[in-house]
Amino acid sequence: MDANLLFEKALGLGSGWKVVKSEMNVAERRLKLWLDFAKGAQFPCPQCEQWCPVHDTVEKKWRHLDFWQHRTELVARVPRIKCEEHGVLQSPVPWARPGSGFTLMMEAMILLLCQEMTVSAAAEHLGEHDTRLWRVLEHYVMEAHQKKDWSGVTRLMVDETSARRGHRYVTVMLDADSGELLLMVEGRSGEALAQFAQAMPAHGAQPAQITHVVMDMSPAYIAGAQKAFPQAQIVFDHFHTMKLAGEALDQVRKSLRAATAGGLWALRGNVWTRSAEQQALREQLCKSYPKLGRAMALRDHLQDVLASKEVEALQGWLGWAARSRLDPFRKLARTIKDHFEGILAFMETRLTNAAIEAVNGILQMAKRMARGFRNFHYFRLAAYLKAGHLNLYDPQNSPT
């Protein structure tokens, strides 16, 4: 079989196109294929799809998948057609999307590699500059993200994650039911929720459909949720409440620092995470220092209360904390009173930000993929690619 015909079949060019020349450089491991169309051929107008004669041509090149481990480049005279209605326009080619320097098959390979490794590693593997790969990701990821349907989203999770050193943060918003990353914006202000509300109509959704917003006790997020979703119930993640309780316990311990030196890890965490030695030390410290024992009991009982659905139990705990003569727990009791409805909402719905913790691990991979957050846009692309549940291979969006 003629080599050009073999390449033509391998490329699947479609009617009207053929390989007219091939040149292989074994020493440099390069392959170059020249494509052309038959004299007198007509092509459809990219706007009205009427078949039109060729006005002139312009030479273009594309990187293709390697043949036999040889870097492969396609070269073609791309026709510009003359449409009676729309004038002179460049006709699209069947093997590449307009404006891309890669064939569709090469772009499919780029997407597959970038889902499994960093962009810089994929670029090195392919022998390309990573900027070219980011352009491919930007096209497919953002197009797929714009097509996401949020009409079924009713419960929203909001949290922050560090972007890089220097107290740089981003806000992430997830579907509380599926764990799907919906939107990521810079900063950690209430404006992030306003941006989500503004983006909803473009995804077939409306702010009124949000029934619950799960978050920590950030004043900025609370204000943002109340403004953007006034009908939604705010739910305060119990992990954040227990974190505050742990901090209160630690403040009590610090007031007894000299006496409890070495006991920090015995006091922190849950009973099932401590070793037998730590548990014994904890019991010894609590017996020797009643104030520390009360603090530990308050912390553990709050965890039990949040695990139940008993409103009276939470109210009882608040009274106990107020009478405890432990300033950190008195302060915690006031905080819980100020956020009482949101904590009760957790006890009723059991909604937490646990899914965000899982996504945060994925975001750390995205951070490495985006070269350490030097560019927020790259980070967002990587985050959507990794955690956005995108349909990159939709027939109308797919590069294959």
Instruction: Give the residues of the chain that fall short of pLDDT 70.
Output: 1, 163-167, 257-289, 369-374, 394-400
Query: Cα-flanking dihedrals φ and ψ of residue 382, to 5°?
Result: -65, -40
Q: 320-352, pLDDT tens digit by residue?
A: 999 999 999 999 999 999 999 999 999 999 988
Distance of alpha carbon 334 from alpha carbon 345, whole angstroms: 18
pLDDT at position 10, please?
84
DSSP 322-383: HTS--HHHHHHHHHHHHTHHHHHHHHHH---SHHHHHHHHHHHHHHHHTTTTT-HHHHHHHH
Contacts of 354 by beta carbon, 8 Å cutoff, 6+ apart? 239
List the beta strands (DSSP E) in the chain: 17-25, 30-37, 42-44, 51-67, 70-83, 87-90, 155-164, 168-175, 181-186, 212-215, 233-236
Q: 112-121, pLDDT tens digit by residue?
A: 999 888 888 9
How many other C-beta atoms are found inside a 10 Å radius of the C-beta of residue 151? 11
pLDDT at position 2, please?
79
pLDDT at position 287, please?
61
pLDDT at position 16, please?
82
pLDDT at position 61, please?
97
Distance of alpha carbon 182 from alpha carbon 155, whole angstroms: 12
Question: Which long-range CB contacts under 8 A does 119-125 form with residues at least 24 apart?
Answer: 119/369, 119/370, 119/371, 119/378, 119/382, 120/371
Domain boundaries, the chain: 3-101, 105-231+371-393, 238-349
